[in-house]
Amino acid sequence: MDDLFSLKKAFLEEIGSVDDLAGLQLVRTKYSGKKGLIRARLRDLSSIPPDKRPLYGSTLNDIKNFIEETIRNRELIFKTREKEQRLETEKLDITLPGNFTPFGRRHPVNQILSEIKDIFVSMGFSIEDGPEVENDYYNFEALNIPKDHPARDMQDTFYISDDIVLRTHTSPVQVRVMEKRDPPLKIISPGKVYRCDSDVSHTAMFHQVEGLMVDTGISFSDLKGVLELFIHSLFGADTPVRFRPSYFPFTEPSAEIDIGCIFCSGSGCGVCKTTGWIEILGAGLVNPKVFEMVGYNTSEYSGFAFGMGVERITMLRYSIDDIRLLYENDARFLNQF
Ligand code: DAH
């Protein structure tokens, strides 16, 4: 019996100094394991004299139960403590802001292009596409710019071969549409154009929007009405508009359209070169020679055409002074629009 009491005493001492689950597991193996101290005594029960055996046996059993229960209790305490510690160290602050993926946004040139398209679509124009790699015929000849004509010098051109160019303007789409369809026509054609040009206001690739309206009885006043409405929608109803005589081979008469300088309100500054006006569009009545090329009856039909540079308009709307900023892909710049 002394052996049993010293077993219990030893257990109590050991368990008293155990402080974690790993230590507890060692004690459990030592006392309650298959090869543990309790089992050893149960196995040796037969060596106890029969008259002492019942008391010895029931005491051993009590001690066995006591040890197992004590271990279970400690285990519960340690597990609870471990869980609390984990909760404490893994605490989540659900009020912290999340990880944001920055959103992309539409390029300023595309934003303005959308506005331009919306305005013309609201006036009943439809949108037409054309190829960026274009035949010399559509880019120049059908627009009354014959080979070796000095007007070709106005547009420094990337030639793919003698007869194929990167289109220098969106005007060839006029010809392609007129070849396919009869009047009445009311179209715009936005897209990329290419010129061998590069400085603060020119890039080798830029965007234009071409416009064309053909019907019976179209006059210069129709052109004026459409373009004034367009400019007032885009730049505000108070924007002064001026039509100035000009020359394009594919229109006659031709005009350049200026708006009152939005930087100095017309008093004269560096941007408008002290004139108070800024050019934003070329336009005119379609030259009968262009109609003849596509087989339109010039005594029945007349029309107007116009063309504008989208980067230039974007720069005016957002007061951007260097066109190259638009194509450097610097997010600090682009995120402002
Ligand atoms: N194609 C001309 C250019 O690139 C712009 C232009 C001017 C287009 C007058 C037109 C027009 O349709 O009538 O400079």
Q: Is the predicted pLDDT of residue 153 greater than 90, yes or no?
A: no
The pLDDT, as a whole number, for residue 199 is 82
Which of 248, 257, 280, 287 has the most ligand 1 atoms within 8 A of CB, as the residue to mutate? 248
List strands edge to edge, sheet with 302-309: 126-127, 185-194, 205-215, 302-309, 277-286, 251-260, 241-248
| 309 CB near ligand 1 (under 6 Å) | no
The residue type found at 150 is P
Mention every residue, 6+ apart, whose C-beta is less than 8 A from residue 30: 14, 36, 37
All residues at 6 or more sequence positions from 234 whose CB lies less than 8 Å from its CB, including other chains: 115, 116, 119, 313, 317
Å from CA of 130 to ligand 1 middle: 15
Residue 110 has pLDDT above 80, yes or no: yes
Angular region, 120: left φ>0, alpha ψ -120 to 50, beta rest: alpha
* Statement to judge: residues 175 and 254 lie in one domain: yes
Residue 297 lies in a domain: yes
Share of the chain above pLDDT 70, in %: 100
Tell how far the Cα of 187 is from the centroid of ligand 1, in angstroms: 14
Q: What was the pLDDT predicted at 207?
A: 97
**More confident of the two residues 115 and 91:** 115
In which band, very low, low, confident or very high, does the pLDDT at 80 lie, cut at 50, 70 and 90? very high
Do 249 and 208 share a domain, yes or no? yes
The verdict on the CB of residue 235 being under 6 Å from ligand 1 is no
Question: Is the CB–ligand 1 distance for residue 314 below 6 Å?
Answer: no
Does 228 lie in the same domain as 285?
Answer: yes
Specify if 29 maps to a domain: yes
End position of a domain, from candidates 59, 90, 121: 90
Report the distance separating Cα 312 and Cα 206, nearest Å. 9
Tell me, yes or no, whether 141 and 69 share the same domain. Answer: no
Whole-number pLDDT of residue 150: 83
Distances (CA, A) of 22 to 19, 28, 86, 88, 180: 8, 10, 17, 21, 87
> Using an 8 Å Cβ cutoff, are 324 and 200 in contact?
yes
Q: Is the CB of 140 under 6 A from ligand 1?
A: no
Last residue of a domain, one of 90, 125, 152: 90
Q: What is the pLDDT of residue 270?
A: 82
Per-residue pLDDT band for 93 (boundaries 50, 70, 90) equals confident
Q: What's the pLDDT at 220?
A: 98
In angstroms, the CA 274 to CA 41 distance is 112
214 found inside a domain: yes
Q: Count Cα neighbours of 230 within 13 Å in the Cβ-side half-sphere.
A: 29
Q: Is residue 242 part of a domain?
A: yes
Query: Is residue 103 a part of any domain in this protein?
Result: no
Domain shared by 39 and 167, yes or no: no
pLDDT computed for residue 201 by the predictor = 80
User: Domain residues for 156?
Assistant: 108-334
DSSP-derived secondary structure for 79-114:
HHHHHHHHHHHT---TTS--PPPPPP---HHHHHHH
Nearest CA to ligand 1 atom 8: 307
Residues 47 and 120 in one domain: no
Is the shortest distance between the CB of 251 and ligand 1 below 6 Å?
A: yes
What's the pLDDT score for residue 9?
95
Residue 96 domain-assigned?
Answer: no
pLDDT tens digits, 212-256: 999 999 999 999 999 999 999 999 999 999 999 999 999 999 999
Tens of pLDDT, residues 299-316: 999 999 999 999 999 999
The reply to whether 80 falls in a domain is yes
326: which DSSP letter?
A: G
User: Last residue of a domain, which of 90, 122, 154?
Assistant: 90
Q: Which residue has the higher pLDDT, 196 or 192?
A: 192
Q: What ligand 1 atom has the least distance to the C-alpha of 251?
A: 13
282 close to ligand 1 (CB < 6 Angstrom): yes
Token pair for 161: 């071969």
Same domain? 153 vs 212 = yes
Beta-carbon contacts of 260 under 8 Å, excluding residues fewer than 6 positions away, are 239, 240, 241, 242, 266, 276, 277, 278
101 in a domain, yes or no?
no
Query: What pLDDT is attached to residue 272?
Result: 87
The verdict on the CB of residue 303 being under 6 Å from ligand 1 is no
Same domain, 128 and 242: yes
Q: List pLDDT tens digits, range 260-296.
A: 998 888 898 888 889 999 999 999 999 999 999 999 9
Compute the radius of gyration of the chain from its Cα atoms.
45
| Ranges 156-160, 224-228, 326-330: which has the least confidence | 156-160
- Report whether residue 284 contacts ligand 1, using a CB cutoff of 6 Å: yes
CATH code: domain of residue 149: 3.30.930.10
Is the domain of 214 the same as that of 76?
Answer: no
pLDDT at 144 over 80: yes
- Mean pLDDT, residues 2-17: 93
pLDDT tens column, 40-53: 999 988 899 999 99
Looking at the structure, tell me whether residues 176 and 29 fall in a common domain.
no
CA of 331 to the centre of ligand 1 (A): 32
Residue 263 has a pLDDT of 85
User: What is the number of domains present in the chain?
Assistant: 2
Both 177 and 286 in one domain: the answer is yes
